[in-house]
């Protein structure tokens, strides 16, 4: 199977690396020529353009920063699509756009599958990330030989659009958790608690979470570089809010966290690292939310292994 990968950013570059590491016939494309050159030096081919990649490849994967970017790439590939061609969308994007573009692909006789990932850049780098796969069962099975190298747990979520909805939900929950951890750490510091002890208390308790075990460490070390920027957070929580609004669900927490992240962007920059949101509370209190002994970057220590589909038991 000849595979193309478009979008070699923080997540896409790591996912494409998993395909290359596992011996796939891989062509790549990105607006940053330096990123393409780095992959070519490791054995990939330069794809040239989205249209050329779809013409030459059986499957083309997109992992891009916005729905508009994905739409532009798919429009460029459509003339080269048809029976035997597959588009895999691995971006975190708008479910309505996935459905619209998927219908355009289906008109050509091609297949469309959405496969957003969850679990952080450090797990994307080792192929141990989770994947939500949305689309017809036959289409998901068609790309399963790729998915088992891209991720450790693959969940078929239902028809096209379902995976994108679940992905923005998980990013919404992660953002709520990040903001609540910022408040918890700052309050414990103000109350005189040691922050390393506070970290362990959360870790071994009912307050623990994936976000705590990853992002709290980067906050406490002072690195605050999780490879995920505030503009991407805003896109994802905005898409979740759109789902709720369209469904008539009167959310209360969601608008508040959108306001908090917007304030963070005004203070630190649109593309500031999302973990810098702790600095709003540091500035408000005059406290330093730091502790010794925490890592400045996240590294996945779980051995890489072949992924498998998650079978729903209920």
Closest CA to 116 of 87, 154, 89, 146: 89
Residues 40 and 84: their CA atoms lie apart, in Å, by 26
Q: pLDDT tens, 204-218?
A: 999 999 999 999 999
Q: pLDDT tens, 133-162?
A: 999 999 999 999 999 999 999 999 999 999
Q: pLDDT tens, 276-291?
A: 999 999 999 999 999 9
The model's pTM is 0.95
Residues 1 and 56: their CA atoms lie apart, in Å, by 11
* Mean pLDDT computed over every residue of the chain: 97
Q: pLDDT tens, 152-196?
A: 999 999 999 999 999 999 999 999 999 999 999 999 999 999 999
- Please tell me whether residue 45 adopts helix, strand or coil conformation: strand
> In the chain, count of helices (H) and strands (E)?
14, 10
Q: Do residues 131 and 289 make contact, with C-beta atoms less than 8 angstroms apart? A: no
Residues 187 and 10: their CA atoms lie apart, in Å, by 32
Residues 54 and 22: their CA atoms lie apart, in Å, by 21
Cα 135–chain centre separation: 19
Q: How confident is the model at residue 313 (pLDDT cuts 50, 70, 90)?
A: confident
pLDDT at 124: 95
pLDDT at 312: 82
Q: pLDDT tens, 231-265?
A: 999 999 999 999 999 999 999 999 999 999 999 99
Q: pLDDT tens, 67-114?
A: 999 999 999 999 999 999 999 999 999 999 999 999 999 999 999 999
CA dihedral defined by 242, 245, 246, 249, rounded to 10 degrees?
130
Cα-flanking dihedrals φ and ψ of residue 4, to 5°? -110, 145
Q: pLDDT tens, 30-75?
A: 999 999 999 999 999 999 999 999 999 999 999 999 999 999 999 9
Residues 95 and 182: their CA atoms lie apart, in Å, by 30
């Amino acid at each position: 199977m000849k595979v193309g990968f478009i979008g070699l950013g923080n997540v896409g570059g790591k996912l494409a690396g998993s395909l290359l590491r596992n011996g796939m016939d891989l062509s790549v494309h990105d607006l940053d020529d330096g990123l393409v050159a780095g992959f070519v030096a490791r054995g990939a081919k330069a794809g040239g353009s989205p249209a050329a990649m779809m013409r030459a490849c059986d499957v083309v994967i997109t992992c891009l920063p916005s729905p508009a970017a994905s739409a532009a790439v798919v429009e460029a590939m459509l003339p080269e699509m048809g029976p035997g061609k597959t588009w895999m969308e691995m971006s975190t994007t708008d479910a309505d756009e996935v459905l619209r573009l998927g219908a355009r692909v289906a008109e050509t006789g091609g297949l469309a599958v959405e496969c957003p990932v969850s679990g952080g850049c450090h797990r994307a780098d080792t192929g141990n990330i989770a994947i939500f796969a949305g689309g017809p069962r036959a289409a998901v099975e068609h790309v399963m030989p790729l998915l088992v190298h891209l991720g450790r747990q693959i969940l078929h979520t239902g028809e096209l659009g379902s995976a994108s909805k679940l992905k923005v939900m998980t990013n919404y929950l992660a953002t709520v958790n990040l903001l609540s951890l910022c408040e918890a750490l700052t309050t414990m510091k103000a109350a005189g608690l040691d922050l390393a002890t506070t970290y362990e208390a959360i870790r071994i308790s009912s307050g623990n979470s994936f976000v705590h075990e990853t992002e709290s460490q980067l906050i406490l070390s002072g690195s605050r570089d999780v490879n995920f920027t505030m503009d991407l957070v805003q896109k994802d929580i905005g898409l979740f809010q759109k789902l709720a609004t369209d469904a008539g669900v009167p959310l209360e927490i969601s608008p508040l966290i959108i306001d908090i992240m917007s304030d963070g962007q005004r203070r630190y920059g649109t593309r500031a690292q999302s973990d810098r949101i702790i600095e709003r509370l540091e500035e408000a209190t005059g406290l330093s939310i730091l502790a010794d002994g925490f890592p400045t970057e996240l590294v996945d220590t779980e051995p890489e292994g072949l992924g498998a589909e998650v079978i729903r038991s209920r």
